[in-house]
Amino acid sequence: MIIRVYYEDTDCGGVVYYANYLKFCERARSELFFQKGLSPHKDNEFFVVKSVQADYLKSAVFGDILEVKTKLVERKSASIIMYQEVFRDEELLFKGTFKLAFLKDFKPSKIPPEFFEIF
* Alpha-carbon torsion, ordered 94, 97, 98, 99, to 10 deg: -170
Alpha carbons 83 and 54: distance in angstroms, whole number: 10
11 is a catalytic site residue: yes
Cβ atoms of 59 and 15 within 8 Å: the answer is yes
Q: Identify the active-site residue in 11, 43, 55, 64.
A: 11
Give 17-32 as a DSSP string. PHHHHHHHHHHHHHHH
Question: What positions carry a catalytic annotation?
Answer: 11
